[in-house]
Structure 1
Amino acid sequence: MDQTCCPEYAAISRRGFLTGAAALVGTTTVFGSTLLTVSPAAAATTGPTLVVLSLRGAADGLSLVVPHGDPVYYAARPRIAVPAAQLVAKDGYFGLHPDLSPLLPLWQSGKLAAVHATGLPTPNRSHFAAMEEVEDADPGSAARVGWLNRLLGEVPGTSPLQGFSVGGGVAPTSLVGPEDYLSAGSVDDLEIAGADQWDEAGGRLRSLHTLWDGASSVLSPAMRATFQATSQFEAVKATPATPANGADYGSSDLGKALRTAARVVKGEVGTQVITLDHGDWDMHTDLGTLEWGRMQRLAKELGTSLAAFFTDLGERGDQVTVVVLSEFGRRVQENANRGLDHGYGNVMLLLGAGVAGGRYHGRWPGLTNELDSDVLVTTDYRSVLAEVVSTRFGVSTASVFPQFQPEALGVMRAV
């Protein structure tokens, strides 16, 4: 992480702070560089796919979706504000950062929308605590179950590949729980250690089957599901690694992760939830302008990679919905280091199937230009997620977001 000045955030690695959560989830089987959390599995099913992309480090929503119609925005950011004349997809009040211009075809076809002034019910400026709160989405509960794991418990299908996290061996808190999920850095990482080209006679797998197939141990169902998962995933490995339709993901980590996600979708192995991370968005210093700084670089990676993802999927993209969110936003007023300190409200992006796109949603609270001014939250982020869940999967939002009554927003439509 370059130039991160939050000791708390710098100390958190995706592997480090989530390993404890992953270890608490049922039975885990580790093979190669992959972690699989499994229960007895049935055949894979196909259906809608939800991709959740987390912008780690608290992205500045006022830079990604600029409220150019609010004069306070320019007064509060004399050095780092995005000029109104250079915004894209601009209406009378909002516009997208120009480095998101690769997403314009999605906006123009009604498949990209933004929901501003979203966030947690109350401010939480701790990266660690806010990430966990957003991903649990069940305030006050002591249960270690994330909202995506609860979703997997409600949708048909029990494939061990139903939930997939593109990452380095551990999954985010949102996927943690009793339902099956898989975490791997790439498609080709999925293999049983020792069952490789040097084991030409297949002795490793035969030994494992002999040991586990007839055993009564509580680990036996996990091992059998592991065998099934590796077998099912051969369909993904057989999917061409070269992106389709001329899609160009670029060379960023996000591009590589979304390229893997597209390959999983095209493999049609029953995966219904995919998670990815992108960061570091913790820009206390050198957020920059359109000519330099980390915001323009990360916004370009975000726009390029997401556009390539839908190009790569082609018609399969008609079943895929992407949600982009961050743990909290940044302050309204720039600081002395051309950066922004921890804030509150933020923006969420919705792309793909079922999105009521080509417009900006939400109730704008207006900005104030004080040292500690925040973007106030007018829409609980769970209302956005609940509408995605109910529209795309037809499940009970009360089961996915316990003790929460979502607000009807109109950000999604029936497909």
Structure 2
Amino acid sequence: MDTGFLDRLPTGTPGHDERPDGFHDGCDCGTQAPADDPWRKGFTRRRLFQGSTAMVAALGLQTVSTRYAYAAATDTDTIVVINARGGMDGLNVVVPVTEQRYYALRRNIAVPEGAALPLASGFGLHPAMPKLHKRFQAGQFAPVVAVGTPDRTLSHFEAMDTLERGTATGNNTSGWMNRVLTARSQTGVFSAVQFGNQLPLSLTGPAPALAMAGIQSFGLAGYDDVRAKAATAFAALYKGVDHPMATQASRTLQAVSTVDTMRATAYTPANGAVYPDGGLGNTLEDLARIIKAKVGLSLATIDIGGWDMHTNEGRVDGGDLRNHLVDLDDALDAFAADLGDGFGDVTVVVLSEFGRTVRENGTVGTDHGHGQVVWVLGGAVNGGRVYGTWPGLTDAAMFTNGSLAATTDYRDVLGDVLAARGGVSSFAKVFPDHTPKPLGIVKPRA
């Protein structure tokens, strides 16, 4: 197990990639991002877990949170949250093609009106996503514009903490996804899965959650005969012992056994789905396998980095943004196709910690901003329209640093999905300082 971690900094404390003013070091408008900028390389923050996972880690098992039990699948969707780490430029993803100010402030990186794939309400989709555009036309994809969090620092770490806690303050140490599990009294080891080596803050808390890099790598370390002997010894160690670790040991081995069963049979994606090689494609293929195995998965979260595009963002014929969007388009479309009819019980939300400035900078990129676009994709989405209230791009309408203002709280989007598809009837504990407003993005479960 990888035991490296990056501590969360106290609020207002400079360090790592932040300056005392809360902005990313080297990320001012017009400033070249440093070559070692971790957000450009897809860096994902890692956390050191509390609880009694050290013994499990010592045996080479990928980390599982401190309480384990299996539970039957709940009558909810599998809700998948994809975090585009670094701050996705939503203005070049869902393009305000009727806003002349957008073109005036982005002479080198704006998506031409004629190139954008038509959506609705004066917006177009970046042409690197033709497959998701077809799903928009089919009513399975809906973007929400001008979405924001309560964070105003535009610091990666502070913004992500706010996003993952689900609150505007640091008083609540658990994450919003874990509080969803607690509210639903879910105790299954596969109730929530993070695809990565360690849990994000959103899944931190008393309810069980599982972190796994992937199906092929999950399990006890070592050769087959060593793993078998270790598992036997592990089970015998706590047999008949009345101790919390006895339950942990038993359920951990059950988790390993479940994944071993999946791994024993070669997997062929259904319906002609072809996942892109590596990264997100591999992760979504594994996620589809787990969903089809019906092990009770209700929440999944995936981090994809590299969205902090202060340089080389590009336009439609090249650049980092186009390359990232091509991968997302291919991977999400393959995931939907692979699930087939089962996609009707899956809802995907793609969001970021913040958006970007409206004006391009001097290095053919954009800088940290406020309002962003959030995508919702699924078989039960009321797609084919653009959600959210558009504030406009006049100086008076924009956020203080010249970025898009936010008119919809991101918890309204999450709340809409959770209420309709996630079995959550009260948000008093999930989002303790915000009552989500219904948006009608997804159809309620029957």
Question: After TM superposition, is the score higher than 0.5?
Answer: yes
Counterpart position of 1:408: 438
> Deviation at 1:309?
0.6
Letter in 2 for 1:186: G
Query: Pick from 334, 338, 346: which aligns with 2:364?
Result: 338
Aligned to 1:259, the other structure's residue is in SS state helix
Gaps in structure 1 of 5+ consecutive residues = none
Partner of 1:178: 206
Distance 2:114 2:265 in 1: 43
Determine the C-alpha separation between the residues in 1 that align with 2:278 and 2:391.
35
Q: 2:70 aligns with which of 39, 42, 66?
A: 42
Tell me the residue number matched to 2:10.
none
Any residues of structure 2 matched to 1:162-311 within 5 Å, and which? 162-167=191-196, 169-194=197-222, 196-199=223-226, 202-238=228-264, 240-311=266-337
Q: Match for residue 366 of structure 1?
A: 392
What is the Cα deviation at residue 51 of structure 1? 0.4
The CA deviation at 1:146 is: 0.7
**Residue 95, structure 1, aligned to residue 124, structure 2:** yes
How many Å apart are 1:84 and its aligned residue? 1.0
Residue 63, structure 1, aligned to residue 89, structure 2: no
Matched, 1:140 2:169: yes
> Structure 1 residues 36 and 12, CA, compared in 2 at 3 Å: closer, same or farther?
farther
Q: TM-score, normalised by structure 1?
A: 0.91
Kept in 1: contact 2:125–2:133 (CA 8 A)? no
The one-letter amino acid paired with 1:187 is I
More displaced 10-residue stretch of structure 1: 101-110 or 380-389: 101-110
Whether contact under 8 Å (1:243, 1:312) holds in the other structure is yes
Distance in 2 between the 1:6 and 1:360 partners? 37
Give 1:14 shift: 5.5
Other-structure match for 2:21 = none
* C-alpha distance after superposition, 1:186-205 (max 9, x if no partner): 112221235x52249x4322
Do 1:58 and 1:326's aligned partners in 2 also have CA atoms closer than 8 Å?
Answer: yes
Deviation at 1:318, TM superposition (A): 1.1
Letter in 1 for 2:116: L
What residue identity is the alignment partner of 1:79?
N
Judging changes above 3 Å, is the alpha-carbon distance between structure 1 residues 131 and 122 closer, same or farther for their aligned structure 2 residues? closer
Query: Across the two proteins, how many residue pairs are aligned to each other?
Result: 407
Question: Aligned residue for 2:350?
Answer: 324
Identity, % of aligned pairs? Answer: 37
Q: Does 1:52 align with 2:81?
A: yes
Give secondary structure in 2 for the equivalent of 1:139: coil
Question: TM-score of the superposition, structure 2-length normalised?
Answer: 0.85
Q: Is the 8 A contact 2:343 2:378 kept in 1?
A: yes
Amino acid aligned to 1:99: A
1: CA distance, partners of 2:172 / 2:368: 28
Distance change (3 Å), C-alpha of 1:298 and 1:4 = farther
Let me know the Cα RMSD of the aligned residues.
Answer: 2.4
> Given that residues 26 and 178 in structure 1 are in contact (C-alpha distance below 8 angstroms), is that contact kept between their aligned partners in structure 2?
no
The corresponding residue for 1:111 is 140
Counterparts in 2 of 1:256 and 1:174: CA distance versus 1, 3 Å: same
The alpha carbon displacement at 1:349 in A equals: 0.2
Contact persistence 1:59–1:328 (CA under 8 A): yes
Report the Cα distance in structure 2 between the residues aligned to 1:297 and 1:382, rounded to whole angstroms: 29
1:389–1:397 Cα contact (<8 Å) kept:
no
Which position in structure 1 is the counterpart of 2:23? none
Cα gap change, 1:239 to 1:277, in 2 (>3 Å): farther
| Cα offset, 1:237, TM superposition | 2.4
Q: Is the 8 A contact 1:121 1:377 kept in 2?
A: no
CA–CA distance in 2 between the matches of 1:132 and 1:268? 31
Shift of 1:322: 0.1
Contact preservation (8 Å) 1:69, 1:93: yes
CA, structure 1 residues 305+322, in 2 after alignment: closer, same or farther (shift >3 Å)?
same
Deviation at 1:251, TM superposition (A): 2.1
**Superposed displacement of residue 262, structure 1:** 1.2
**1:27, distance to aligned residue in structure 2 (A):** 4.8
> 3-state SS of the aligned residue for 1:296?
helix
Correspondent of 1:352 among 365, 378, 390: 378
Query: As a proportion of its length, which structure holds more helix?
Result: 1
Inter-partner Cα distance in structure 2 for 1:111 and 1:143? 34
Task: Report the alpha carbon displacement of residue 273 of structure 1 after superposing the two structures with TM.
Answer: 0.8
| Alpha carbons of structure 1 residues 215 and 412: separation in structure 2 relative to 1, 3 Å | same
Aligned-pair CA distance for 1:94: 0.5
1:10 deviates by 4.8
- Looking at structure 2, the residues matched to 309 and 240 of structure 1 have their Cα atoms a distance apart, in angstroms, of 17
Runs of 4+ that moved beyond 6 A: none
| Alpha-carbon contact 1:236-1:268 (below 8 Å) kept | no
Relative to 1, partners in 2 of residues 1:157 and 1:372: Cα closer, same or farther, differing over 3 Å? Answer: closer
